[in-house]
Amino acid sequence: MKRKLFLFLFLLQAGFLAAQNMTDVSLFLRSDSGTYLNRVSSETGDLYKALGHHGPAIENEWLALRLYFDKKAAIDVYSKATPGLELGTYKWYPTTQQQLEGKGADYYKVGPTVGLGGIRLWDGEKVVPLDPVSNRTARVVKEGSVSYMEMLSEDVPYGNRKVDILVRVTVYSGFRKAKVEAFALTDEDVAFVTGINYHPGQQVVVEEDCIFTWGLHPEDVAAEQVELGSAIFVNPDDFDQTKDDGNQHIFISKPTRQMSLWITSANGKEPLVNTLDRFIDFAKFEMRID
């Protein structure tokens, strides 16, 4: 009963926030952090060091996500202790003191993996990164009650041809979950790869249509270590196989030109979702809401 009450109160608050546009976007050059951009492009495909927070970013009141603007094209997570928008003020990196006073932090460690729901390709034998490219473009859009970021990787070598791959990530006001979509802008199908990474000591729960992780990520840039929960939800009918390479669980899609999935995250500082069981309950409950 108490768990159901928690979920009801959480969703009641989410419904109120959904009436506002509690989302935002962030894209800027490190050399000019006061000027926000809608779009950036590079023929090298690598603006990782040139861009603030290493690529485009979006947020809602619960979390922020970024796409690395380099060969990894992984999705990373910024966690929040209290609901609110933070990217415009803290640009993904609050100071140590600000973090200890309750602002968010980058507790998530991606490493060489897809991160949380990142997109790559499968050539029948191995994972193929979205690199090299003839051009890579990122853009961010805020409209209505949503914000999204896109990354277009052009002329990615894939077998005996080259393909253009568009990845879109969307966050919604009032909802913790985010949607990831992948499009092959080609006349022929491709096999997409997505997944969720994990680290030693974390709890990992694998089900047919979803995977959950909970625990500490290796210390990196955050002021302290905080337990994180992450989850990916897929349609099992879209995928041929799954693999665990020791760092990440990946899903390999059937040949297609379009794929979508959902991701979500929480952390130990959020009272109603601060354990694995609470996080799983809430994530599954929210996934049933359109």
Residue 246: predicted pLDDT: 96
| Per-residue pLDDT in tens (0 to 9) along the chain, 290 residues | 555 555 555 555 555 455 588 999 999 999 999 999 999 999 999 999 999 999 999 999 999 999 999 999 999 999 999 999 999 999 999 999 999 999 999 999 999 999 999 999 999 999 999 999 999 999 999 999 999 999 999 999 999 999 999 999 999 999 999 999 999 999 999 999 999 999 999 999 999 999 999 999 997 778 888 999 999 999 999 999 999 999 999 999 999 999 999 999 999 999 999 999 999 999 999 999 87
φ/ψ (deg, to 5) at 11: -70, -30
pLDDT at 14: 54
Helix (H) or strand (E) holding 241: strand 239-244
Task: Write down all domains in the chain, each with its CATH number in brackets.
Answer: 2-287 (2.70.98)
* pLDDT score of 221: 76
Q: Which helix (H) or strand (E) holds 56?
A: none
Q: Output the pLDDT for position 69.
A: 99
Amino acid 279: pLDDT: 98
pLDDT of amino acid 43: 99
How confident is the model at residue 3, as a pLDDT? 56
What residues contact 115, with CB distance under 8 A and at least 6 apart?
68, 72, 74, 75, 76, 77, 108, 197
- Tell me, yes or no, if the pTM score tops 0.85: yes
pLDDT of residue 1: 52
Task: Return the exposure string of 127-151: e unless at least 16 CB atoms fall within 10 Å of the residue's CB, then b.
Answer: bbbbbebeebbbbbebeebbbbbbb
